[in-house]
Structures are given as C-alpha cells and as structure tokens.
C-alpha cells in the first residue's frame, strides 16, 4: 500500500510509532471453575488472610495460637503484671465514673429503668474482656442505640406497659447479638461499609440533636412531654407547656450544663487534664444529689430519680419473648440497633488500631460484640457497644466492672435524690460532640455528593425519624455507587508527543489528537447497568467527531479505539453491547479496536464466543499497538 508509509509520516510529531511491534493480547492462564470460585470467595470473605500466622507452625503452637485467636485474654493474660494492674485500676475507676451516670441516663433514654443501664455497664465488659481484641475500647450502652430502641419500641407499646417494654428490650438485645455474631461468623462485616462516613456524620449529628431535644423535658422540668422525636413536634410541645417550666430546675440544669461543657473543653484543650472531663459527670451527680438532699429541693418540685432497687444483675432468660405478636417488632428493633451499635463501634476500633499500628479483625470483633449482647440479654442488659476509651494504657475492663458492681450493691440508694435535670445535662454534654460541623464543611469542599449524603441523613433524622435518617443515609450511599456505575465517564484521549503515553485531551494541555483515530477512554466496568448508555454515548462521540472533522477539514476518522485500561469488569450484556457497537460502526465504515484490557476482562472476552468471531484481531496490549496497526494498513490481518 503506497499510502501507508506516507500516513505514518503524519504521526511523527504526535506519537512515536517507529519502535512499536504490535502485540496482541494473549489469553490469561486458564483457571477451572472451582479454582476461580475458590479464589473469588477467598477475596470476598478472607481479604485480610486472618489465619496467615498459622501457616508452617507446629501443631502445639497452632493450638496455642487458636486459643489466643478465639480468646485474646490468653494473649495478654500471660504478660499481665502488677504495674499493669495498677494502671488498669486507675483507668477502670475513671471509666466507671463516666459509665455510672451515663448508664443511668441512657437507660432513661431507652425508656428503661435506670438500674438496667448499670447492669449493662457491668456484665458486657466482662464478656468483652475475654473475647474482644481491641485494647482501647470500653463497653457499655450508647446514646443512639438507646434512643432508637426506645423510639422503636414506643411506637408499638404504650409507656403504660413498662414490663412488656422491658421484655421487648431484652429480646431485641438478644436478636441484636445474634445478628452481630452471625455477621461476624459469616464474615459479612463488609455490609457495615455501606453506611458511608459522610452519611454517618450527618446521621450522628442529627441523632445527637434529637437526643438533646428529648432532654428538654428534664432540663426544663416539664412533666407533660410529647412522645414524638422530630424537631418540630418537640419544639411545639415545649412551647405549649411553657407554664410548666420550672425555673429552679432550669437554673440548676444550665449551671451544671455550663460546668460539664467547661470540663469537656478543658479535656479537649489539654489532653493531660482528660480526667477533669471524665470525672465531671460523676462529680455533677454527687454534687447535685447533695444539693437536693440538703435543701430538700424535691419538695420544691425538682424531679428526681426516686427509689432504686440495688443488687446484682438478675437473670432475664425468662423475660425473653421468643414467640407471639411482638416477635417481629423485637427482631426488627434488634437488627436496627445491632447494626447501629456495630457501625460506630467498629469505626472507632479501626481508628485506634490504625493510630497504634495494630490490626483489628472486624469480623472477629463483631462476633465478640454479638456474644457479649447475647450474654447481656440473659442478664438484664440491653444493647451495648464498644465505647471509646481515651486513656493511654490498655488492659482489662475488670476494675471498671468492679466499680460499677460496688455502685450497684452499696451506693444505689443514694441516687434516690439525684435530680433528672442533671442526668439530662450529662446526656446533652455527652452527645454534643457528635455534631461535627467542621467535618461537614470539609465534605462540602472536597465532594458535594458526600455533603449531600451527610445533609440528607441529618435532615432525615431531625425532621422525620432516626430510622428514616438511617434509611436515607444508606440509600444515598448505595445509590451513589450505582450512579457511578450507571453513568460512567468517557473521555477522548490524545497522545503526549514523543512518548507512548495517552492522556485526557481536555485535562492535559500537552496532548495532541492522533490523526484519523478517535481514542476513547471508558472509565467504568461495562455491565448491564451501563451497556446501553455506553453504546449510545460512544455513538454520540462518533457523531461529534464526524462533525468536528467536517468543520475543521481534519483527516477523516477511520478507526475508533477504546482504551479499556479502566474497565475493571465486563459481563454478558457488556460483551453484547461491544459486539453491537462494532456492527453499528462497521455500517459507517469505521473500525473498532480495543486496547489495554485488564486481566479479568481479557479472560471474559476469551471465554465468550464473541472473541473468536470478532475480537481476536482487534484486541491489543496497548493503545500504541492498536494505533500502529490501524494506521499502517496492517488491518485486517491476513488469516493463517
């Protein structure tokens, strides 16, 4: 062909084709069906290869490792020393001083008797200490799960039936535990990833405000309060009951709120003074109880907790409702609260692990939390999760448990005079840190869609319900992934002169168009959800290229080359779409060549019939190979 050498000259300034010996793509090494299945199952369920320590060890060592794997207590138990015990006692007392008032407050949030909160701060930590692998977490009830449990149960059961409410709470805890342990055992921990962090930020912020709004009852000393959770009904109810506002209570509320916020600020500002913010809640409780007792403020209308039954966790096995009309409600509540308590717990654990450079097996952790909740549901506890422990030393939760036990056995009668207002103030001070406006602002700057997910979750919780917010958050997170696949980006590529590299023609100023070739980068897998779109979009690129050529009198287009470098997968619809595209382009006398396929795509193309018929001669290792073949007249190659 006389024209072909002439044509190559036109490319000299654009792309260096001299040294190119066009290479086709050879099929990847064949794998059997079961081998492929085994490999992909391993990647899905055991990506972190959790058993790698076991490889090449003796049987005895394997047994020791297995015991340590299942019960981490064996790992640190042998290294435990007196000095560790001492620091553990100190850290345990500090944690307990947080756990006792928070336990009582959160139980109120879940519409449960305050003692349940204390029970829940006692048994679960002991279970977790033996099973859990994170050394930096404390365990106990938590605000959002408490709120959700309370609101979900209250929707179906009137507050006049406290016994039924309690039974349902234990049953829901059991199902939360079963669900968590099941997820862990089946290594399905990745479902938690579908609640994206931006959505979580919005969700937590909204929940914190909803929780705080509920505290207006205690803070203002109102006796009649709405059972609804949304911003509007609560504000309406608060303003409607303005005559009930009890000014002495309000004065006390806000002074203690001020004290707690000041302590929190000190703890954040000077990390060494963390104990100030940790001790503030208990100090508030003690101080306010003393004040009420001394001034007999109860008689002046300040609401207090009232009589509390002391003692250790009684068994609650007989209270589990495993049949009957409320079973479905208990299961649903268990699933939602179990999911919620995991989501945040695992995230916090991972952050600590990455800070201190040790690895957390999320799935194992879930099993530990699940077993903890299952044990809890039989010992009068409700859904708990890991709580962040901000102290520097690791260790056991036992001393924490000891302090809580002491409280339950001996100090409970003293809480009789503790004012509700202070408990509310403690909750508000505890949850306000969850409203993270700075993180939301950062999202707006980096990624508008992330910000949208965050905002929707926030507003969903605030104006509708916590469950709605959760559903919105998961929905937006998931549809973002779907949208990304359904409407993938396509870009026209040009070569960087003097190299064999190609870049986006619009983004990269150095690039030059390759004459008579339309090079398109497809930036997504080609799946059923986008195969039609991609077909139409590529035809539009071709139409626009033809318009450009006829306007600028450029070389007429001979060839469309798809860069598959970012096509991470292809399914049967995708192969069909490419085949249809090839036929449609051939009707316009255009070649369709494919270049730069990844392994998985090559494998799939070779396995279908299509490659034999259509693609064998059109699939190239790199873009330069495809261009060299397309412009030098080597195409179509002779058979033989």
Considering only residues 44-63, where is the footprint of a second copy by CB under 8 A? Answer: 44, 47-49, 52
Our finding on whether 207 is near a second copy (CB under 8 A) is no
Q: Which residues of 508-526 are buried (b: 16+ CB within 10 A; e: fewer)?
A: eeebebbbbbbbbbbbbbb
The rounded radius of gyration (Å) of the Cα atoms in the chain is 32
Half-sphere exposure (Cβ direction) of 308: Cα atoms closer than 13 Å = 26
Size of the chain in residues:
640
* 622, 628, 629, 631: residue in contact with a second copy (rule CB under 8 A): 622
Measured CA to CA, the distance from residue 335 to residue 327 in angstroms comes to 12
Number of residues that bind a second copy (CB under 8 A): 92
Closest approach, Cβ 630 to a second copy, in A, equals 18
Segment holding 527, helix H or strand E: none
* 223, 309, 388, 489: residue in contact with a second copy (rule CB under 8 A): 489
What angle (nearest 5°) sits at the alpha carbon of residue 109, between those of residues 105 and 115? Answer: 50
Closest approach, Cβ 495 to a second copy, in A, equals 12
Instruction: Give the pair of three-digit tokens for residue 603.
Output: 């494998």
Closest approach, Cβ 108 to a second copy, in A, equals 34
Closest approach, Cβ 28 to a second copy, in A, equals 4
Residue numbers 135-194 binding a second copy by CB under 8 A: 190, 193-194
Q: Which residues are within 8 A (CB) of 511 and not within 5 positions of it... i.e. 6 or more apart?
A: 493, 494, 495, 496, 502, 503, 504, 505
* 29, 243, 271, 636: residue in contact with a second copy (rule CB under 8 A): 29
- Residue (353 or 396) nearer to a second copy, CB: 353
Closest approach, Cβ 230 to a second copy, in A, equals 24
- Residue (255 or 568) nearer to a second copy, CB: 568
Question: Can you tell me which residue has the tokens 């992909």?
Answer: 40
Closest approach, Cβ 506 to a second copy, in A, equals 7
Residue numbers 424-483 binding a second copy by CB under 8 A: 442-443, 445-450, 477-478, 480-483
- Residue (300 or 607) nearer to a second copy, CB: 607
3 state DSSP class of 285: helix
- Residue (169 or 594) nearer to a second copy, CB: 594
Of 150, 194, 193, 190, which Cα lies nearest the Cα of 172?
A: 150
172 within 8 A of 383, measured Cβ to Cβ: yes
Question: Can you tell me which residue has the tokens 């261009």?
Answer: 627
Our finding on whether 527 is near a second copy (CB under 8 A) is yes
341 within 8 A of 383, measured Cβ to Cβ: yes
* 468, 486, 617, 632: residue in contact with a second copy (rule CB under 8 A): 486
3 state DSSP class of 267: helix
Residue numbers 356-415 binding a second copy by CB under 8 A: 357, 359, 362
Instruction: Give the pair of three-digit tokens for residue 247.
Output: 């000014």
**Number of other CB atoms surrounding residue 132 within 10 Å:** 25
Question: Can you tell me which residue has the tokens 């870009």?
Answer: 491
- Residue (178 or 570) nearer to a second copy, CB: 570
* 227, 532, 550, 556: residue in contact with a second copy (rule CB under 8 A): 532
* 350, 512, 558, 616: residue in contact with a second copy (rule CB under 8 A): 350
Closest approach, Cβ 334 to a second copy, in A, equals 22
- Residue (390 or 480) nearer to a second copy, CB: 480
**Number of other CB atoms surrounding residue 18 within 10 Å:** 9
* 68, 87, 468, 504: residue in contact with a second copy (rule CB under 8 A): 504
């Amino acid at each position: 062909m006389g024209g072909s050498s002439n044509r190559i000259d036109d490319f000299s300034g654009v792309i260096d084709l001299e040294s190119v010996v066009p290479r086709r793509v050879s099929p990847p090494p064949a794998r059997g069906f079961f081998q492929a299945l085994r490999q992909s199952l391993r990647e899905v369920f055991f990506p972190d290869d959790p058993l790698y320590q076991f490889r090449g060890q003796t049987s005895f060592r394997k047994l020791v490792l297995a015991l340590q794997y299942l019960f981490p207590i064996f790992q640190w138990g042998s290294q435990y020393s007196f000095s560790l015990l001492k620091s553990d006692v100190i850290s345990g007392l500090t944690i307990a001083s947080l756990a006792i008032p928070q336990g009582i407050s959160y139980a109120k949030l879940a519409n449960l008797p305050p003692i349940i909160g204390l029970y829940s701060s006692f048994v679960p930590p002991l279970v977790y200490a033996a099973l859990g692998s994170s050394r930096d977490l404390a365990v106990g009830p938590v605000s959002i799960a408490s709120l959700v449990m309370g609101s979900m149960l209250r929707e179906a059961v009137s507050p006049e039936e406290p016994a039924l409410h309690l039974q349902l709470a234990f049953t829901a805890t059991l199902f939360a535990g079963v669900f968590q342990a099941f997820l862990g055992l089946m290594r399905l921990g990745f479902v938690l990833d579908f609640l994206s962090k931006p959505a979580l930020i919005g969700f937590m912020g909204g929940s914190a405000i909803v929780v705080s709004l509920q505290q207006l009852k205690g803070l203002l000393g109102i006796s009649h309060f709405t059972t609804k959770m949304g911003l509007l009904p609560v504000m309406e109810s608060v303003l409607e009951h303005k005559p009930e506002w009890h000014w002495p209570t309000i004065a006390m509320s806000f002074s203690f709120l001020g004290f707690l916020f000041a302590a929190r600020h000190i703890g954040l500002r000077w990390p060494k003074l963390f104990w100030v913010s940790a001790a503030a809640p208990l100090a508030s409780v003690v101080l306010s109880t003393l004040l009420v007792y001394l001034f007999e403020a109860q008689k002046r209308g300040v609401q207090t907790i009232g009589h509390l039954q002391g003692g250790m966790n009684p068994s609650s096995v007989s209270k589990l409702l495993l049949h009957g009309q409320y079973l479905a409600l208990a299961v649903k509540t268990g699933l939602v609260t179990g999911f919620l308590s995991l989501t945040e717990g695992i995230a916090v654990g991972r952050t600590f692990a990455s800070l201190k450079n040790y690895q957390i097996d999320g799935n194992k952790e879930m099993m530990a939390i699940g077993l903890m909740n299952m044990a809890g549901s039989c010992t009068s506890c409700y859904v708990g999760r890991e709580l962040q422990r901000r102290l520097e030393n690791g260790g056991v939760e036992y001393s924490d448990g000891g302090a809580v036990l002491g409280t339950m056995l001996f100090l409970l009668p003293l809480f009789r005079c503790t004012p509700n207002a202070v408990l509310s103030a403690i909750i508000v001070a505890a949850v306000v840190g969850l409203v993270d406006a700075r993180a939301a602002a950062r999202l707006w700057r980096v990624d508008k869609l992330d910000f949208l997910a965050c905002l929707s979750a926030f507003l969903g919780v605030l104006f509708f319900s916590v469950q709605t917010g959760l559903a919105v958050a998961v929905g937006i997170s998931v549809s973002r992934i779907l949208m990304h696949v359904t409407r993938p980006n396509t870009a026209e590529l040009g070569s960087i002169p003097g190299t064999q590299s190609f870049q986006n023609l619009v983004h990269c100023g150095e690039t030059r168009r390759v004459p008579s070739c339309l090079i398109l980068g497809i930036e997504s897998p080609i799946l059923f959800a986008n195969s039609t779109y991609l077909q139409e979009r590529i035809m539009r690129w071709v139409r626009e290229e033809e318009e450009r050529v006829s306007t600028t009198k450029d070389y007429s287009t001979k060839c469309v080359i798809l860069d598959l470098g970012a096509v991470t997968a292809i399914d049967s619809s995708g192969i069909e779409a490419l085949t249809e595209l090839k036929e449609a382009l051939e009707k316009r006398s255009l070649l369709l060549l494919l270049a730069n396929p990844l392994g998985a795509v090559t494998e799939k193309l070779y396995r279908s019939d299509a490659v034999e018929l259509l693609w064998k001669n059109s699939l190239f290792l790199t873009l330069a190979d495809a261009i060299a073949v397309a412009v030098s007249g080597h195409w179509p190659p002779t058979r033989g």
